[in-house]
Structure 1
Amino acid sequence: MAAAVQAPPQATEAPSLAYKQVPETEYDLEWAQLATLDISTFDQPGGKEALAKQLEAAIQTIGFFYIVNFGLSQEEVDRQFAIGKEVFELPTDEKLKYRADLENGGYNGYKPLGLREVTPGVHDNTEIYNIPKFIPAHAERVHPSVINDNKPEIEHFARHIHDNIVGKLLVLFAIILELPEDALTSHHRYDQLSDCHLRYMKYHRRSAEDNAKLENVWVKGHTDFGSLTLLFRQPVAALQVRGADGGWRWVKPLAGSITVNVADALQFLTNGFLKSSIHRVVAPPPDQAHVDRLGVLYFVRPEDALELRPVQSAVLARLGYDVNEDEAAVGITAGEWVKARVKGNIGKDGKRLPLNGLEQEVIKGKSAKYYD
Structure 2
Amino acid sequence: MVETAFPDAPHRPPPPPTTEDLDWADLPIVDISKASTAEGRTELAAQVRDAMRTFGFMYIVNHGLTQAQNARLFDIADVPFSQVSEEEKRQFSNEIKNTGSYRGYKPRRFWTIDNGVPDQIEHYQFFEQKHHPQALQPFLPEIYAFAEHNHFKVLHPILRLLALGLELPEQTFVNIHDVDATGPGFVRFMKYYPRSEEDEAKTKNVWLKGHTDIGTITILWSQPISALQIMTPDGQWRWVRHIDNALVINIGDAMEMLSGGYYKATIHRVVQPPADQQGYERHGAFYFAMANDDVKLVPFVESPVLQREGIKRRIEDENAPTMAEWRVGLTRSYGVSELKRKDVVIEEQVVGGIVVKHYN
Q: TM-score, normalised by structure 2?
A: 0.92
2-structure distance, mates of 1:333, 1:213: 37
Q: Where do residues 310-349 of structure 1 align in structure 2 (5 Å cutoff)?
A: 310-311=299-300, 312-321=302-311, 327-345=316-334
2-structure distance, mates of 1:50, 1:18: 39
Deviation at 1:18, TM superposition (A): 2.6
Question: How many pairs were matched up?
Answer: 351
2-structure distance, mates of 1:36, 1:369: 28
Identify the range of structure 1 (42-51 vs 174-183) with the bigger mean alpha-carbon deviation. Answer: 42-51
Distance 1:11 1:186, change over 3 A: farther
Aligned residue in 2 for 1:349: none
Contact 2:151–2:181, Cα closer than 8 Å, also in 1: no
Q: Where do residues 258-337 of structure 1 align in structure 2 (5 Å cutoff)?
A: 258-311=247-300, 312-321=302-311, 327-337=316-326
State the one-letter code of the partner of 2:18: T
Contact 2:110–2:119, Cα closer than 8 Å, also in 1: yes
Of residues 20, 24, 31, the one that matches 1:27 is 20
Aligned residue in 2 for 1:95: 89
Distance 1:265 1:45, change over 3 A: closer
Instruction: Please give the secondary structure, in 1, of the residue aligned with 2:135.
Output: helix
Of residues 68, 78, 81, the one that matches 1:75 is 68
1-structure distance, mates of 2:79, 2:38: 43
State the one-letter code of the partner of 1:313: S
Of residues 139, 146, 156, the one that matches 1:150 is 139
1-structure distance, mates of 2:263, 2:327: 18
Aligned residue in 2 for 1:65: 58
Aligned residue in 2 for 1:366: 354
Instruction: Please give the secondary structure, in 2, of the residue aligned with 1:95.
Output: helix
Contact 2:122–2:191, Cα closer than 8 Å, also in 1: yes
- CA deviation map 1:142-166 (0-9, x unaligned): 1012321111111111101101110
State the one-letter code of the partner of 2:126: I
2-structure distance, mates of 1:87, 1:128: 8
Contact 1:56–1:176, Cα closer than 8 Å, also in 2: yes
Identify the range of structure 1 (145-154 vs 46-55) with the bigger mean alpha-carbon deviation. Answer: 145-154
Aligned residue in 1 for 2:11: 18
Percent identity between the two aligned chains? 38
1:37 aligns with 2:27: no
Distance 1:74 1:355, change over 3 A: farther
- CA deviation map 1:323-342 (0-9, x unaligned): 79x92122310011000000
State the one-letter code of the partner of 1:266: M
Distance 1:323 1:361, change over 3 A: closer
Distance 1:323 1:295, change over 3 A: closer
- Tell me which stretches of 4 or more aligned residues in structure 1 moved more than 6 Å: none
1:125 aligns with 2:120: yes
Contact 1:194–1:335, Cα closer than 8 Å, also in 2: no
Distance 1:354 1:217, change over 3 A: farther
1:248 aligns with 2:242: no
Distance 1:38 1:328, change over 3 A: same
Contact 1:17–1:79, Cα closer than 8 Å, also in 2: no
Distance 1:354 1:125, change over 3 A: farther
Contact 1:316–1:322, Cα closer than 8 Å, also in 2: no
Contact 1:194–1:304, Cα closer than 8 Å, also in 2: no
State the one-letter code of the partner of 1:169: I
1-structure distance, mates of 2:19, 2:13: 18
Deviation at 1:207, TM superposition (A): 2.2
Contact 2:189–2:286, Cα closer than 8 Å, also in 1: yes
Deviation at 1:60, TM superposition (A): 3.0
Contact 2:340–2:349, Cα closer than 8 Å, also in 1: no
Contact 1:230–1:299, Cα closer than 8 Å, also in 2: yes
Distance 1:290 1:322, change over 3 A: closer
Deviation at 1:16, TM superposition (A): 4.3
RMSD of the TM alignment (CA)? 2.1
2-structure distance, mates of 1:343, 1:322: 26
Aligned residue in 2 for 1:105: 100
Deviation at 1:353, TM superposition (A): 4.3
Instruction: Please give the secondary structure, in 2, of the residue aligned with 1:54.
Output: helix
Instruction: Please give the secondary structure, in 1, of the residue aligned with 2:58.
Output: strand
Q: TM-score, normalised by structure 1?
A: 0.89
Contact 1:193–1:303, Cα closer than 8 Å, also in 2: no
Deviation at 1:46, TM superposition (A): 1.0
Identify the range of structure 1 (93-102 vs 226-235) with the bigger mean alpha-carbon deviation. Answer: 93-102
Deviation at 1:206, TM superposition (A): 1.4
2-structure distance, mates of 1:321, 1:345: 27
Deviation at 1:367, TM superposition (A): 2.1
Instruction: Please give the secondary structure, in 2, of the residue aligned with 1:321.
Output: coil
Gap runs ≥5 in structure 1: 1-6, 133-137, 347-351
State the one-letter code of the partner of 1:62: F
Aligned residue in 2 for 1:3: none
2-structure distance, mates of 1:278, 1:159: 27
Instruction: Please give the secondary structure, in 2, of the residue aligned with 1:230.
Output: strand
Contact 2:45–2:161, Cα closer than 8 Å, also in 1: yes
Gap runs ≥5 in structure 2: 342-346
State the one-letter code of the partner of 1:112: P
